[in-house]
Structure 1
Amino acid sequence: MALEFLPVPLSWVLLALLAVLFYLYAVRPLWVFKKMGVPGPTPLPLLGNMLTIMNDGIWNPEASRQRVQLYGKVYGIFFGRSAILTISDPEMLRDIFVKKFHALSNTQTDAVTLETKPSGRMLINLRGEDWKDVRSTLSPAFSGGKLKMMMPAINTCADQLVQNIAKFAETGESFDTKELTGAFTMDVIARTAFGTEIDSQRNPQDPFVLMGRKAFDIKMSSPSFLLLFMFPSIMKPILEWLNIDLFPRDATSFFYGIFDQLIGLRQKSDEKGRVDFLQLMMDAHKDADEEEEDGVKLHGQKHALTRDDIVANGFLFFVAGYETTATSMAFALYNFALNQEEQDKAREEVNKIMENRDLIDYEAVHEMSYLEMCCMETLRLYPPIPNTGRVASEEVKVQWLTIPKDMMVIVPVIAIHYDPERWPEPKKFIPERFTKEAREKRDPYNWLPFGAGPRNCIGMRLAMMELKVGLAKILMKYRFMTAPDTDIPLKMKKGNQFPLPENGIRLKVELINKDN
């Protein structure tokens, strides 16, 4: 045989071949940032910087700021084999979010975007024209006119929240604030988005409530997803074939069933005049529509959404809206408990505006400027998402840096929010950072809890309105204070991708004496 005449044993040849293949697959990609002139921590083959990132945690302001201090406002890391540019330079952010949006409109690379249900059809994961079409269809649900029509439902849910606080005012015992705010936001979403009442504030064991909470139990550190980043070309088709999604399967099955029932009931009743999110998706049509956001034309076309589109985005709206707003409200109450003077100032403003009103209407909400400042400062300190991402759909130059096609760009929101150059004494709660004058002087890309540009959070206006109505109702009747078991400062779960305190946010409350 010919192999017998090789000058070296066959095993040596195979080992050499394996070494070359390993270098090409696992080592060579790690040189990309050196070629670009971008600094960063030294990566390991296959793993990249995953071990360091997982050890530091995702929601960790100190670690995020430390990386910026070590490597600068532009540096590179590897998650598995995936090269990720991390950029916090304000001028470059303006290009990324708006000026070069045409080349940086996607939030996921095709290599790790799973076409599974429901994640694959969620707005946050859609790409290119597909995203523009669905965004154009869904955006009208958050217009000023629609938000005005939602105000009575939000007020009703806020009234129930105030009633639920009463028992803790009577006993003086501490309680986990997030449990109350979470029930409030879940009720609001059920009514405003799906036109259904679940009353989770009175019935916390409702299956809708339990599955809603479970849906948010996302395990980014699961072996399946870690392997996806290490071996995307192998793992992606396997995960898609098995339909292994980001969200727990029993939760997604439950909501598919719920949405199917709601859609079926509406199709049979043929009701007119509904203004909620679900109806808007069901009524989606093919009329050409051109939308503009932050000066960028989307040129989307409204189209008939499929069942999977409706369920996926209904599920997304429910999960994202429930958790982020509930958490932000709980953090706002924590800030008020630690800062009584600011709490009193917000209460005084609310009482003055509500002097001749029973309902906190759309106009009243917009008059509550100091309360809004408190909400914005809370969102700076505890942004719902610590990082936001974009992917280059083509080679694009951003200032001095040329970003290759398909490279992921991460904007470290939490590092920006805790940057002492942008925010002096960044750990302090100072609502006055958001006066009209201060905001006009500051770069708009220094505050990014909802992202920026055309691909910002679609539900931002509803979230702020819901947050302000709930807080205003509470402030009119109760004072929040720290309790013996309140963590000061809060001990955060650093491994979580959302801000979540290890021991909850435990506070106590007292009824305000209106005669004083």
Structure 2
Amino acid sequence: MFLAIAVILFCTPFIWWFLFLQKYKSLSVIPGPRPIPLLGNANDLGQTPQAFFNNCSKFMKEYGDVFRLYIADECKIFVANADFLEQIMSSNVHITKSRGYSLLKKFVNYGLLTSTGSKWKTRRKMITPTFHFKILDQFLEVFNASGDILVDKLSQEVGKPSTDLYPYINLFSLDVICETAMGVKMSTQEGENSEFVDSLRGWLDIFMVRFFSAWKRYDSLFKITSEHSLNEHYLNVLQKYSSTVVERRRSEKAQEKKEVTDSDFGIKRKVALLDMLLESEYNQSLTNDDITEEINTFMFEGHDTTTSGICFALLALADHPEVQDRVYEEIEATVGDEKYVTMKQLQDTRYLEMVVKEVQRKYSAVPIVERQLEVDAKICGVDFPKDTTLTLYLYGVHQNEKYFPEPEKFDPDRFLPERQSERHNYAFVPFSAGARNCIGQKFAMLDMKVTLIKILQKYKVSPVPGYKPELGMAAILKSYNGINVRFQRRSHEMK
């Protein structure tokens, strides 16, 4: 009996593995590295963000722009093909995020990023007015004010042989996100609310460790690690802060008289995402927890992605002085030395917009997004079983030579109107596309453009000799050895 039990225990995992492969047998037509029993291709991807990034690029070169990987009990199909992306992203059926997003739920719960079905559709409809043109125009006040503080802080870096941009831009982005999401001035650039800043950074660092761990991603196993108690502390700080802000603002709105100054929205002139949620037609059904999860979602999605975009834009401009000179000439012609950047001026900086788009192509802020199939589906002629994970490899499609010849070359002219019209509509999708595209993409573009204008008005950036970013893939594209440039004042600023 003991021997029989031992044989059963030994064989069961391999029987499970055989049945697992049989379930996804139809996907054998998609190339990929050979998996080993039970672990699949987990070891092939690597255990660090840098290894994951490099191996994904290697697999794409070896197997093409659609390839297959097995990670433990999950079949992942990496997609860097525009035709394939179009069928997925344009679908109103395949909108459910993958299991990997469960690592975020302790912070964002079931907010817009992680929810699906009717809840996601209701929340999407509710939050969309926040990014209406008139509201975005009001957000320019925040972009400009926070940008002025950033420019002032960067003055202490002038003349130094190297400056890591990330700490400066990250605090700036936090100030912007917190004020536009919650209507609260955090003043993190001035050194205030350090516990909140440290907790957000600490939680994100642990999140990335769990993302690349074969076992820490499981809550039951993560609880026995040394990081668990620290992770809970960070989450408590973040949740307490945002929930306190929501409770206080709801109480204030219950006491104040309604001041209607905007005929389209019936809201006060100065608005934040929090106010939009409290004043929504759905607000009677929203609890404080419901609103908090959306605020936290916006903070999570918004601050690191814009940080990445601004940092890599400055790095690219430092490495390509001819592009930087052309951007500066455009700024001089449209904005001059005015301190407040207007919406009209932003619309006129068309070359800068092309530069930002090329940055988003070459250094895709969000390298991958994932969907989980909830039903069997035929996509591009292939039968996909339910539960297949579709890893939409946005960085890969942006590096695909079929759509972007010489992809390593930084060339903003790729985004001239006539060249864009010749390209597949789903070849450039930095903010995803279709029903689940990024709701804040216009917000992000305006934020990045205002910030770059303000910095370039005052400073010229140049490369650090011998420096090369060490790229890694996590929630965002990140350089693990900093993003380093040199600052010098523009000649007219020397006085």
Identical-residue share of aligned pairs (%): 25
The structure-2 alpha-carbon separation of the partners of 1:430 and 1:473, relative to structure 1 and needing over 3 Å to count, comes to same
TM-superposed CA distance for 1:228, in Å, is 7.8
Amino acid at match of 2:14: Y
- Residues 1:128 and 2:111 are matched in the alignment: no
Provide structure 2 residue ranges, at least 5 long, that are not aligned to the other structure: 259-267
Question: 1:5: which partner in 2?
Answer: none
Which residue does the alignment assign to 2:92?
A: 102
Secondary structure (helix, strand or coil) at the match of 1:182 reads: helix
Q: Equivalents in 2 of 1:419, 1:366: separation in Å?
A: 29
RMSD (Å), alpha carbons: 3.0
For the residues of structure 1 that align with 2:164 and 2:103, how far apart are their CA atoms? 36
1:226, CA displacement in angstroms? 2.9
1:191 and 2:188 correspond: no
Q: What is aligned with 1:21?
A: 12
> Judging changes above 3 Å, is the alpha-carbon distance between structure 1 residues 481 and 447 closer, same or farther for their aligned structure 2 residues?
same
Q: Hey, what does 2:79 align to over in structure 1?
A: 87
1:430 aligned to 407, 411, 432, which one? Answer: 411
Match of 1:285 among 281, 285, 292: 281
How far apart, in 2, do the equivalents of 1:194 and 1:509 lie? 33
Q: In 1, Cα distance between the equivalents of 2:56 and 2:186?
A: 39
1:334-373 → structure 2 map (5 Å cutoff): 334-355=315-336, 358-373=339-354
Closer/same/farther in 2, CA of residues 12 and 207 from structure 1, 3 Å limit: closer
Residue 57 (structure 1) shift: 4.3
**Residue pairs, 1:104-503, within 5 angstroms:** 104-109=94-99, 113=102, 117-169=106-158, 171-203=159-191, 206-222=194-210, 226-227=214-215, 248-270=231-253, 271=256, 272=258, 273=268, 274-286=270-282, 304-355=285-336, 358-484=339-465, 487=467, 489-492=468-471, 494=472, 496-503=474-481
Counterpart AA for 1:253: N
Q: Distance in 1 between matches of 2:422 and 2:165?
A: 35
Mapped to 2, the partners of 1:26 and 1:506 lie a distance apart of 46
Q: State the Cα deviation string for residues 381-434 of structure 1 (Å, max 9, x = none).
A: 111222111122222211211222222111112222222232222112111111
**Contact 2:358–2:414 at 8 Å: present in 1 too?**
yes
Q: Is the 8 A contact 2:372 2:389 kept in 1?
A: yes
Unmatched runs of 5 consecutive residues or more in structure 1: 1-9, 230-234, 287-301
The code of the aligned residue for 1:200 comes to T
> Distance between the aligned counterparts of 1:253 and 1:497, measured in 2?
21
Deviation at 1:282, TM superposition (A): 2.3
Instruction: Tell me the distance in 2 between the aligned counterparts of 1:246 and 1:412.
Output: 33
CA contact (8 A) 2:23 2:385 kept: no
Distance 1:348 1:125 in 2: 42
How far apart in 1 are the matches of 2:67 and 2:212? 27
| TM-score, structure 2 as length reference | 0.88
| Partners of 1:72 and 1:408 in 2: CA distance | 18
| Contact 2:377/2:383 (<8 A) preserved | yes
Structure 1 residues 224 and 391: CA distance shift in structure 2, 3 A = closer
- Partner Cα distance (2:232, 2:41) in 1: 30
Residue identity in the other structure for 1:454:
A
User: Aligned partner of 1:370: which letter?
Assistant: Y
Corresponding residue SS for 2:367: coil
2:304 partner letter: E
Contact 1:59 1:386 in 2 (8 A): no
CA distance in 1, matches of 2:77, 2:110: 26
Encode CA deviations 1:109-163: one digit per residue, 9 max, x unaligned. Answer: 5x98479533432322112112111111112111111101111121111111111
Once residues 496 and 201 of structure 1 are traced to their aligned partners in structure 2, the CA distance between those partners, rounded to angstroms, is: 25
Matched letter for residue 483 of structure 2: I
Q: For the Cα contact (< 8 Å) 1:106–1:392, is it kept in 2?
A: yes
Q: CA deviation at 1:55?
A: 4.5
Which one has a bigger Cα radius of gyration? 1
SS of the aligned residue for 1:446 comes to: coil
Deviation (angstroms), 1:448:
2.2
Give the whole-Å Cα distance in 1 for the aligned partners of 2:455 and 2:211.
43
Which amino acid in the other structure matches residue 44 of structure 1? Answer: I
1:90 touches 1:446 (CA, 8 Å); kept in 2? yes
Separation in 2, partners of 1:245, 1:304: 34
| Change in CA separation of 1:159 and 1:413 when aligned onto 2, cut-off 3 Å | same
SS at match of 1:445: coil
The normalised TM-score by structure 1 is 0.85
Contact (CA 8 Å) 1:154, 1:466: kept in 2 or not?
A: yes
Residue identity matched to 2:33: P
**How many residue pairs get matched?**
478
> Where in structure 1 do 4 or more consecutive aligned residues deviate above 6 Å?
236-240, 244-247
Whole-Å separation in 1 of the counterparts to 2:436 and 2:286: 20
Alpha-carbon distance in structure 1 between the residues aligned to 2:213 and 2:321:
44
User: CA offset at residue 463 of structure 1?
Assistant: 0.8
Shift of 1:506: 1.9
